[in-house]
Amino acid sequence: MSRVFIARAAVAACLVGCAGQPESAVAPRSRRSISTAPRSAEALRASDERPALIGEYIGTYDHATGQLRFSRARNGSRVPSPGFAEASTDAVTLDDNGSSIFGVGLIDLEPCLVNQLCANVTITNDSSVSLGSVRIDIYDLDGGATIANPMSLGTNYPSRSGSAGGWNYPTLAGSGGSAARVWKFDTNAGADFSFNVAVWATYSRAGYSTSSLGTISSANNAASADATWSDAAPAWRDACLVSGSTVISGQTAFTTAGVTPAFPSSVFDTLIDTDGWAGGLEVSSAGTLSITSVLSGANLTLSDSSAPDYTFYPFWDALESTNGSVCAAVDPTSSAPARRFVATWKNVNIASLSDSRLTFSIVIREGSDDVWFLYHRWSTSPSDCSSSGTGSDLVRAGGATIGVRGFGVGQVNVLSHNTATLPSHASSCDGDGAFYRLTATPATP
């Protein structure tokens, strides 16, 4: 188990004469026939900070020895981190270096007054992942002590019952980034005291590493969608097989529907939350899944400045659900903490090819934030699964965009644009399928 960071406290005891969460897959939101205006990038990025609890400790001050000590409160247990894999509660170490200072003096140029305990705590990030907005929440502080220099923890940071306040730290770069902060306590005339410590921080995905197009074997591409899942060799998954999962059907016009996923995840460095922090998700008839709303009309390359941000594009094209449907659900063969959210476009057709049939899905895995684009069927006829004949290039993605985009053209992975990427398919159903995998990076520390 990897450590995330180590904190060491240089302690000054100035007590005498000192100066100076099958489970419901998605909650449907509004359905509408046209897209709404996207939320601004600034609003999304301001709302996506959601911390993970990465450490809980007990702090004790012994007046006789003049020492502040820390011990783990929940050593070895694990705490869910919204949007990411579970973070270990032993990922943080708070370690007093044993130093004590009595008498008049300054700690980091801050005065430590009579009957105050002052600790200069340096936090060092021992992982390769940048930690954002580290927060220390002190709660259940006893012995008559109070915090003398508390800071606001921010509106997105929960405080524990009995919170006495705490301190903020800036973003800590990976592999050794550090920062120091003075903790001050007003003591009860030198009495011993103790408290609990909750350590919170955020970390985010920088992007994705992408695979080349892979093959889903015919056995794993069965329409029953119950073959054993493997991250390395995924099996076909169909959200439309889950009762109550349909959000769009029988539409020729561009249509979107809002869904709220059962677990948090992310697109690049922005959180997709379950309670509206980033607005949930928009699934569109055009083969997209987005935090913002997707433009109707022709697909674009994702490096175009007009392409919508914060969007997954398993098959962005002018599609219709006249004879098909769009569905969203949690894969019933998955379970926490590694559930799989699935959105499926089933038997939809390309607008200019009414006889075409496309069935494909996007899968987002809880914890790792990895994403799969699964392709089950791409045929030019409703009567079989052959991709040959009129419109062959189009059903093979010759007029579609496949990839993912975060904030602007600097956060883009283009897998295919207006290129017949999918292989030719025989007439037999179900036959082999195809997939792309997008592995979120960096991995959870």
* 188/312 same-domain check: no
* 124/242 same-domain check: no
Distance CA 194, CA 144 (A): 10
Q: Which contiguous run of DSSP H or E holds residue 353?
A: none
Domain limit, last residue, from 202, 233, 256: 202
Distance CA 100, CA 112 (A): 13
* pLDDT at site 311: 93
Q: Does the structure show a pLDDT above 70 at 431?
A: yes
* pLDDT at site 272: 75
* 103/225 same-domain check: no
Of 260 and 5, more confident: 260
- Among 134, 104, 117, smallest CA distance to 182 is for 117
Per-residue pLDDT, averaged over 80-98, amounts to: 45
DSSP one-letter string for 370-389 = -EEEEEEEEESSTTS----S
- Between 11-15, 33-37, 318-322, 433-437, the lowest mean confidence (pLDDT) is in 33-37
DSSP secondary structure letter of residue 41:
H
Of 332 and 182, more confident: 332
Distance CA 167, CA 68 (A): 17
CB 280 within 8 A of CB 259: yes
422 inside domain: yes
- Between 10-19, 87-96, 113-122, 278-287, the lowest mean confidence (pLDDT) is in 10-19
- Among 444, 344, 353, 426, smallest CA distance to 385 is for 426
Beta bridge partner(s), residue 325: 249, 346
Of 337 and 386, more confident: 386
Per-residue pLDDT, averaged over 119-138, amounts to: 77
Distance CA 181, CA 95 (A): 14
Per-residue pLDDT, averaged over 98-119, amounts to: 57
Tokens 């011990």 found at? 71
Q: Does the structure show a pLDDT above 80 at 132?
A: no
178 inside domain: yes
Torsion angles phi and psi, residue 163, rounded to 5? -65, 135
* 104/223 same-domain check: no
Distance CA 292, CA 307 (A): 11
Per-residue pLDDT, averaged over 369-383, amounts to: 96
CB 116 within 8 A of CB 186: yes
137-147 pLDDT, tens digit each: 999 999 999 99
Per-residue pLDDT, averaged over 398-421, amounts to: 95
Q: How confident is the model at residue 297 (pLDDT cuts 50, 70, 90)?
A: low
34 inside domain: no
Of 316 and 63, more confident: 316
Q: Does the structure show a pLDDT above 80 at 90?
A: no
Q: How confident is the model at residue 97 (pLDDT cuts 50, 70, 90)?
A: very low
* pLDDT at site 445: 57
* pLDDT at site 248: 94
* pLDDT at site 315: 97
Distances (CA, A) of 171 to 130, 180, 380: 7, 12, 52
Cα first-last separation, the chain: 9
117-126 pLDDT, tens digit each: 887 777 777 6
Amino acid identity at 364: I
Q: How confident is the model at residue 392 (pLDDT cuts 50, 70, 90)?
A: very high
Judge residue 297's burial from the number of C-beta atoms within 10 Å of its C-beta, 0-12 exposed, 13-18 middle, 19 or more buried. exposed
Distances (CA, A) of 36 to 120, 293, 296: 50, 6, 11
Distance CA 253, CA 351 (A): 9
* 197/281 same-domain check: no
Distance CA 109, CA 20 (A): 9
User: CA 241, 267, 136, 155 torsion: positive or negative?
Assistant: negative
- Among 417, 422, 424, smallest CA distance to 434 is for 422
Distance CA 257, CA 250 (A): 13
* 325/191 same-domain check: no
Residue 85 belongs to domain spanning: 5-20+49-202
39 inside domain: no
- Look at the chain and report how many structural domains it folds into: 2
* 356/219 same-domain check: yes
238-267 pLDDT, tens digit each: 999 999 999 999 999 999 998 888 887 888
CB 45 within 8 A of CB 411: no
Of 190 and 87, more confident: 190
* 191/242 same-domain check: no
Per-residue pLDDT, averaged over 127-146, amounts to: 84
Vertex 299, ends 296 and 302: CA angle to 5°? Answer: 115
Averaged pLDDT score across all residues of the chain: 79
User: CA 299, 305, 310, 314 torsion: positive or negative?
Assistant: positive
* pLDDT at site 78: 39
Domain limit, last residue, from 183, 202, 221: 202
- Between 74-83, 280-289, 402-411, the lowest mean confidence (pLDDT) is in 74-83
CB 130 within 8 A of CB 170: no
Per-residue pLDDT, averaged over 261-280, amounts to: 67
42 inside domain: no
* 408/269 same-domain check: yes
173-207 pLDDT, tens digit each: 777 778 888 888 888 877 899 999 887 877 667 78
% the chain with pLDDT above 70:
74
Pairing relation of β-strands 281-284 and 340-350? unpaired
DSSP one-letter string for 417-431 = ESS--SPP--SSSS-
pTM of the model: 0.70
- In the numeric block, which tokens belong to residue 322? 């006249």
Distance CA 356, CA 170 (A): 54
Amino acid identity at 415: L
* pLDDT at site 23: 42
Q: Does the structure show a pLDDT above 90 at 428?
A: yes
User: What ranges make up the beta strands (E) of 203-269?
Assistant: 207-210, 214-216, 246-249, 256-261, 265-267
50-72 pLDDT, tens digit each: 566 777 888 888 888 777 887 87
Distances (CA, A) of 303 to 90, 286, 292, 403, 407: 42, 18, 17, 11, 11
303 inside domain: yes
* 178/241 same-domain check: no
Amino acid identity at 36: T
* 230/192 same-domain check: no
Domain limit, last residue, from 134, 168, 202: 202
* 246/176 same-domain check: no
DSSP secondary structure letter of residue 91:
S
26 inside domain: no
250 inside domain: yes
Per-residue pLDDT, averaged over 159-164, amounts to: 83
Measured in residues, the chain has a length of 445
